[in-house]
Amino acid sequence: MQLFKKTTEIDFLAARKVAVAISLVLILVALASLFTRGLNFGIDFTGGTLIEVGYPQSVDLVEVRKTLAAEGFDDAIVQHFGTSREVLVRVPPREGVNSAELSTQILNALRQQPGAGEIKMRRVEFVGPQVGEELTNDGGLAMLYALIGILVYVALRFEYRFAVGSVAALIHDVIITLGVFSLLQLNFDLTVLAAILAIIGYSLNDTIVVFDRIRENFIKLRTGTPLEVMNISINQTLARTLMTSFTTLLVVAALFLFGGELIHGFATALLIGIIVGTYSSIYVASSAALALGVSKADLMPVEKEGVEQDELP
């Protein structure tokens, strides 16, 4: 049991300037990629054609993707729908080709697959670009409202310097995650947007745990500079932070490896976000609060005037 009670004594914040420099470089690279290359939006945002086909027997999605790629549809998203005999194909819009012509081309390409049998068209739907534009705007507003709500919550619960630090860490995590998707041109769909919002909640939880311990130690420890108190607090919560991140990473890694094409982007975003979020809760959030000059006096409870007189007999 003694092993679990032992607290590390790592001087994390001694490297805060190096950590901030690394973070700034990563953010600048991410922003440059976002402005120049943009995100590779999926059909949820860009619009396109959705085609459902039925096979007489179970079909391997890997073979379906190879067949479509050979016919020039390498950007198609393929997944099972309901059973292993039903396949859903989503294709981004193509200039000069309407949804009816596109669905015919897809069906003809699939029928050329060896051993496919008689494939039947179940339905064809077209997602217009207007819907995609609305989803893009609503998704961006959702993230903005989440950050504003967090800023208000942390400011009321702790102190405004902590609120700025926590929001700085969240913005740091979101920008870097989006930057990776932009640099690698990974498909960005609604599942990835959901992962980004989940990253905001996960990173905030880690930051709140650290800030809670910092506030307790500012009040409890009579000596020590703000830097020393923050280092002590980070070390005291380190075991909990690493254990939470490790167990969460195990689950997300399983989703990434075995979850299939449908949630691959979701798992990828969470993998990046958890790693970056753990780093930012130790360095970015605490470093920002320290740079803004948070001190013991800011967190001490305010003494009411006349309390001592009221307690006299």
Tell me whether residue 313 is in a domain. Answer: no
Based on the fold, state whether residues 110 and 168 are members of the same structural domain.
Answer: no
More confident residue, 46 or 235: 235
Query: Residues 6 or more apart from 124 whose CB is under 8 A from it?
Result: 49, 50, 51, 52, 99, 100, 103
- Buried b / exposed e over 114-128, threshold 16 CB at 10 Å, is eebeebeeeebeebe
Last residue of a domain, one of 105, 127, 149: 127
Last residue of a domain, one of 87, 106, 127: 127
- Residue 262 DSSP label: G
Based on the fold, state whether residues 73 and 19 are members of the same structural domain.
Answer: no
Give pLDDT, residue 74: 79
Query: Residues 6 or more apart from 193 whose CB is under 8 A from it?
Result: 139, 142
Q: What is the pLDDT of residues 166-211, one digit of tens each?
A: 888 888 999 999 999 999 988 888 888 888 888 888 888 888 888 8
* Count of the separate structural domains present in the chain: 2
Q: What are 125's strand-pairing partners?
A: 50
Using DSSP, state whether 120 is helix, strand or coil.
strand
Q: What is the pLDDT of residues 94-140, one digit of tens each?
A: 777 766 777 788 888 888 777 767 788 888 877 766 556 676 677 77
Of 268, 68, 258, give the one whose Cα is nearest residue 188: 268
Percent of the chain with pLDDT over 70: 86
Only one residue has tokens 């990629």, namely 33
* In contact, 200 and 150? CB cutoff 8 Å: yes
End-to-end CA distance of the chain, in Å? 49
Of 224, 240, 241, give the one whose Cα is nearest residue 232: 224
Of 246, 272, 115, 312, give the one whose Cα is nearest residue 192: 272
More confident residue, 296 or 313: 296
Give pLDDT, residue 175: 92
Give pLDDT, residue 307: 45
Count Cα atoms within 13 angstroms, Cβ side, for 95: 0
Based on the fold, state whether residues 284 and 202 are members of the same structural domain.
Answer: yes
Confirm whether pTM is higher than 0.95. no
Tell me whether residue 94 is in a domain. Answer: yes
Average pLDDT, stretch 36-50?
80
Report d(CA 291, CA 17) in Å as an integer: 11
Report d(CA 260, CA 267) in Å as an integer: 10
Of the pLDDT bands very low, low, confident and very high (cuts 50, 70, 90), residue 32 is very high
Tell me whether residue 304 is in a domain. Answer: no
Tell me whether residue 1 is in a domain. Answer: no
Of the pLDDT bands very low, low, confident and very high (cuts 50, 70, 90), residue 31 is very high
* In contact, 283 and 19? CB cutoff 8 Å: yes
Based on the fold, state whether residues 75 and 215 are members of the same structural domain.
Answer: no
> What are the tokens at 210?
């650290």
Tell me whether residue 3 is in a domain. Answer: no
Of the pLDDT bands very low, low, confident and very high (cuts 50, 70, 90), residue 272 is very high
Which spans in 39-128 are helix H? 43-46, 61-70, 99-111
Cα-to-chain-centroid distance, residue 17: 25
Last residue of a domain, one of 93, 112, 127: 127
Based on the fold, state whether residues 168 and 118 are members of the same structural domain.
Answer: no
User: Any idea what the CATH number is for the domain that residue 202 is in?
Assistant: 1.20.1640.10
Report d(CA 230, CA 13) in Å as an integer: 8
Of the pLDDT bands very low, low, confident and very high (cuts 50, 70, 90), residue 10 is confident
Give pLDDT, residue 268: 92
Cα-to-chain-centroid distance, residue 249: 13
* In contact, 136 and 47? CB cutoff 8 Å: no
Based on the fold, state whether residues 34 and 76 are members of the same structural domain.
Answer: no
Look at residue 223 and tell me whether its pLDDT is greater than 50: yes
Q: What is the pLDDT of residues 151-167, one digit of tens each?
A: 777 777 777 788 888 88
Give pLDDT, residue 16: 84
Tell me whether residue 158 is in a domain. Answer: yes
Of the pLDDT bands very low, low, confident and very high (cuts 50, 70, 90), residue 4 is very low
Based on the fold, state whether residues 81 and 181 are members of the same structural domain.
Answer: no
Q: Which domain holds residue 272?
A: 11-39+131-299
Based on the fold, state whether residues 98 and 192 are members of the same structural domain.
Answer: no
CA-CA-CA-CA torsion for 12, 241, 203, 37, nearest 10 degrees?
Answer: 70
Q: What is the pLDDT of residues 282-312, one digit of tens each?
A: 888 888 888 877 766 655 555 544 544 444 4
Percent of the chain with pLDDT over 90: 12
Give pLDDT, residue 7: 66
Based on the fold, state whether residues 142 and 109 are members of the same structural domain.
Answer: no
Report d(CA 271, CA 137) in Å as an integer: 25
Report d(CA 292, CA 238) in Å as an integer: 23
Based on the fold, state whether residues 72 and 182 are members of the same structural domain.
Answer: no
Based on the fold, state whether residues 104 and 246 are members of the same structural domain.
Answer: no
* In contact, 281 and 240? CB cutoff 8 Å: no
Tell me whether residue 141 is in a domain. Answer: yes
Mean pLDDT for the chain overall: 80
Based on the fold, state whether residues 178 and 292 are members of the same structural domain.
Answer: yes
Report d(CA 64, CA 5) in Å as an integer: 54
Give pLDDT, residue 133: 67
User: Any idea what the CATH number is for the domain that residue 117 is in?
Assistant: 3.30.70.3400
